[in-house]
Chains A and B, each alone.
Chain A
Amino acid sequence: MVDRRYLTYFDWGLLALTFLLASIGLLTLYSAVMAGVPTPQETLFTKQLIWYGIGLVVMAVCILFNYKLMERHAWLIYGGVVLLLLWVMFFGKYIGGSRRWLVFGPVSLQPSELAKIAVIIMLARYYAKYVSGRGFTLKGLQVPVIIALIPFLLIVRQPDLGTAGLIGLIAASMTLFVKIEKRTLLIISGSGIAMALPMWFFFLKEYQRQRILTFINPDRDPLGAGYHIIQSKIAIGSGFLTGKGFLEGTQNALSFLPEQHTDFIFSVLAEEWGFLGAVILIFAFLVFIFWALNIAYSCRDPFGTILAVGITAMIAWQVVINIGMVMGLMPVVGVPLPFISYGGSSLLTTMISVGILLNISMRRFMIE
């Protein structure tokens, strides 16, 4: 009993944008892995193609049921993700000094990626129930803080500070969206500063302060992050107006870029396609984000609206942090660029997000 209106209301525009971004992503990834280090990197491209295939299926599944079911079963989703995070903590695979991965045969997953979606759903459920227009007070914020804090701490322990920080940013954005009462906002920001200052001067050791300063300003570490950033800036800047051409990026080809297929993939694109290519990508993201916000705009159900805003916040923050980082505007953190960076878990999360957005979009008539 498929309702015909589903087809009528199906958001073809968002789907087209998704395919556009996916194409740009695959093209750039091809260059990043083919021109860079040879085998076994070549298989990365094939792997990413397969992940896109899986992502499309998962996206389709996310469309099939009414998104309101997620509101009802938010606890189930959230609880499942927390269990996965605990599982990783004890049985996850150590790679490069951190424990983030669950390995099932040839497939490995990062539950921390899924945690972002779970937190968004839980928060949307809570805020939809209690949003009042007057803004949330300290009392009303207790539950959301706990919702975000549990996965946050589990992910910090892995350690994956990038993803943990992202969850914090998403939760903060959603909370600001549903409005914090003015006095409460003052208290929170005031006490934040009041706690940070003595922490900085009395509790942190000198080397810890140095580490934070270096994090904020990579130039302080000219042999590590600072070096990566200057190479990335050279790659982007040398792209000039029209770029060096597909597969012609020298910074990319000679592996002067670190993590060129994951966190620094934007530099590859900007080097080979120049200002024009980079602006087109940023515009594509901008249109995508506005489109998603428009879905929130036209949805008449608070849960759907807040859910769409949360998902948009997730994608928007990742875009801003990742591109800001490779251009030397932000600290160096491991945050992937949605649709573009290599990585199965990240891609899966992005495709689930698109699925949920499509779901909200095509069911907007049900409330009207």
Chain B
Amino acid sequence: MSRYLKTVDSEWFRHRLTMVMMCVSVAALVLILRLIYLQIVMGQEYRRMSLNNSIRLQSIDAPRGLIFDRHGNLLVENRPSFDLYISLKDARPVENTLGRLATHASLEETELAERVAGVRGAAYHRPQLLKRDIGRDALAVVAAHRYDLPGIDVQIQRLRNYVHSGLAAHLLGYIGEINTKELQKKIYADSRSGDLIGKTGIERSLEAYLRGKRGGRQVEVNANGQVVQVLHTVPARSGHNVYLTIDSRLQQRAEELLEDKAGAAVALDPNTGEILALASSPAFDQNDFITGLSRDKWNALINNPLRPLENKATQGEYPPASTYKIITAMAGLQEGVIHDSDIIFCPGHYRFGKRNYRCWRRGGHGSVDLNKALAESCDVYFYQVGQRLGIDRLAWYAKAAGLGARTGIELDHEGKGIVPTAAWKEKRTGIPWQPGETLSVAIGQGFNLVTPLQMAVFTAAVASGGVRYQPTLVKRVASWGGDDILRNEPKVVARLPVDPATLALVQKGLWEVVQGDRGTARIARVKGIDVSGKTGTAQVVSREKIEETEDGASIHKYKDHAWFVAYAPSENPRLAIAVIVEHGEHGSSAAAPVARELIKTYLGEVPLAPAVASGSSKAPNG
């Protein structure tokens, strides 16, 4: 106690406490005064407002951003959907009203009757949806007969519309209702259940730009739910418009060329990395997802053995086959294990260890130098180059070419592919690397897997003198006012680790493939334009196995995948392409013509068919 005697006495504390009590009293007084104001002074007014819960929030949806191609052609828009509603208590007698409605708007009366058959209780007083998206013609009729149709109301809703049904379906993606799992994610913090969000493709990856910001109104309504006055309005902010790098004409051509096939085609500008076309076949119609997909249609999509929902250009992983020889050639030259003038004799097979490795040409190519090896795709030549390099050196060059890693394009679920190394196999299977496997890898078989996009990007790097650009689908994002939100500039990701001289030798070989007298892809020639490329024929099962199957009909699924990678013009290239046709058998016959037509379309050898997107409206500020 002595301690506190030295410092302050309790009188001092009591003085301070009196001050505290005064503060508390003032606070209590303020609260009570406020209570008097709210409950006594304003009480009647608030009682009135509470009687019909008169203050409501109305949501104002934000229009989603539009999507255009590189030339400003509209690809994705929002269109109005006119939905027919009925207020049953106003529409009595309901049968007569529905009957007149059916006759005027040529709708099915029984279908309408079914919608309202079970409606009872509170729902009876609320408008019931009769039919969605009745179309402008029916709307005009309904509007004209309004006085004849009591209780019938049309409400307008925004619907996403993919202007050219099915065009670039994988790439653009589609939107759908947000699910519970997505609602918990941070990026959807602003969303609530029932909202439409991008589910796949650009719609999904650019969601943050495309989605606007919802607004709302605080309104006072009367007992009938009609708005008496608007108290506050927070305007909605529209989503931003996206301009893709896609050339919709080229995109459409690519899809036409792949029609009735399973496969993919990717075309890009080797000088920027901008993707001009990215097609996957078979495709689907995104508009089906917007208006509601029937169970049958959905089952047909997911059970189709050709996997229409998969974007084969970015998600499909295939053995690169002979297109991989470009890498083997680069690695061999750069590492000095082979020189362009070295001659290797090809008798049609190569004996390594206990096994005989065959060349695709049974009779052999005879004496082969680098140029001929690429032009005629001699397996024996590259078996030996691969053997001299060893698997790990070969893998290093493949990785430097961008294989085995996602390109980072703006699409979800991109495939990584596989670049096999000794360590990878040991870890994966527990079995050490067999030297013979290096031979298979060197010609693009074995464990190798690549996506068509990876091959297109690599081909573009060869075309552009070794510079590998970041592939991109987005050129620009702009606000509704036209201001730039984002402008994509070409980004260099890496350079091929080879000397210019080495690259020049490889480029010459690729030129020979198409333009040479004995090249494997002479079919890809375009009048007036030099094309360079490389074919590939990827075995789905080993050759022995095919011969075991006797029944010719079942063979389709064992048929080889056809590859073709190309760039054009050979000097100062403006287009790089990768095409794969599943079970197309030969790269030269199935894939090369697709590339040829794309080159013609883009670089314009023949007059073009009327442009697909020419009729659509231009971008407001494109």
Contact = CB atoms under 8 A, between A and B. Distances in A.
Contacts of A235: 50
A367 B16 contact: no
A293 B49 contact: no
B43 A238 contact: yes
Given A239-B39, A289-B24, A327 B1 contact: no
B218 A177 contact: no
B7 A297 contact: no
A275 B20 contact: no
Interface string A106-122: 00000000000000000
A187 to B, nearest CB: 21
A176 B16 CA distance: 9
Contact of B13 (A233, A290, A305): A305
A275 B234 contact: no
A227 B218 contact: yes
Given A222-B231, A301-B4, A367-B1, A237 B39 contact: yes
A240 B20 contact: no
Nearest to A308: B17
B35 A279 contact: yes
B216 interface: yes
Interface stretch (A33-41, A153-161, A316-324, A331-339): A316-324
A329 B39 contact: no
Interface stretch (A141-149, A250-258, A344-352): A250-258
Interface string B21-56: 100110110111011101110111111011101010
A222 B218 contact: yes
Interface string B185-198: 00001000000000
Nearest to A275: B39
B45 A223 contact: no
A131 B24 contact: no
Contacts of A226: 218, 232
Nearest to B232: A222
A282 interface: yes
A314 interface: no
A156 B286 CA distance: 46
Interface of B is mostly: helix
A329 B12 CA distance: 34
A99 B12 CA distance: 43
Nearest to B47: A238
Contacts of B28: 282, 285-286
B568 to A, nearest CB: 50
Nearest to A306: B13
A25 interface: no
Interface string B6-21: 0110101110110011
A241 interface: yes
A275 B38 CA distance: 9
Contact of A236 (B13, B39, B216, B231): B39
Interface string A11-48: 00000000000000000000000000000000000000
A132 interface: yes
A293 B17 contact: yes
A110 B49 CA distance: 38
A136 B547 CA distance: 98
A300 interface: yes
A239 B20 CA distance: 32
B53 A254 contact: yes
Given A230-B55, A237-B43, A327 B7 contact: no
A238 B8 contact: no
B27 A327 contact: no
Contacts of B49: 234, 237-238
Nearest to A305: B13
A234 B7 contact: no
A309 B218 contact: no
A164 interface: no
Contacts of B21: 290, 293
A129 B1 CA distance: 12
Contact of A316 (B27, B36, B38): B27
A296 interface: yes
B191 to A, nearest CB: 14
B17 A237 contact: no
Interface residues of A, number: 56
A253 to B, nearest CB: 10
B47 to A, nearest CB: 4
Contacts of B216: 222-223
B57 interface: yes
Interface string A257-293: 0000000000000110011001100100110011001
Given A240-B39, A270-B39, A309-B20, A250 B7 contact: no
A23 to B, nearest CB: 21
Contacts of A290: 21, 24
Nearest to A179: B16
Nearest to A300: B10
A312 B16 CA distance: 14
A196 to B, nearest CB: 24
Contacts of B55: 227, 230-231, 234
A177 B15 CA distance: 10
A279 B32 contact: yes
A133 interface: yes
A131 B34 CA distance: 37
A165 interface: no
A307 to B, nearest CB: 12
A302 interface: yes
B38 A233 contact: yes
B50 A251 contact: yes
Interface string B48-74: 011101010100000000000000000
A327 B4 contact: no
Determine which residue in B3, B28, B34 has the highest number of CB atoms from chain A within 10 A of its CB, and name it: B28
Determine which residue in A133, A223, A233 has the highest number of CB atoms from chain B within 10 A of its CB, and name it: A223
Given A238-B50, A275-B39, A302 B27 contact: no
Contact of B7 (A132, A223, A251): A132
B272 to A, nearest CB: 34
Given A226-B232, A227-B218, A236 B31 contact: no
B53 A237 contact: no
A177 B234 contact: no
Interface of A: 97, 128-129, 131-133, 177-179, 219, 222-223, 226-227, 230-231, 233-241, 250-251, 254, 256, 270-271, 274-275, 278-279, 282, 285-286, 289-290, 293, 296-297, 300-302, 305, 309, 312, 316, 320, 323-324, 327, 329, 367
Closest A-B pairs by Cβ, 8 of them: A237-B46, A222-B232, A238-B50, A240-B43, A223-B216, A275-B39, A133-B8, A238-B47
Given A293-B21, A297-B14, A297-B17, 7 more contacts: A129-B3, A222-B232, A223-B216, A234-B46, A237-B46, A240-B40, A278-B35
25 contacts: A132-B7, A133-B12, A222-B234, A223-B57, A233-B38, A233-B46, A237-B42, A237-B46, A238-B46, A240-B43, A240-B44, A275-B35, A275-B36, A275-B39, A275-B40, A278-B35, A286-B25, A300-B10, A301-B1, A302-B4, A305-B13, A316-B24, A324-B31, A327-B34, A327-B38
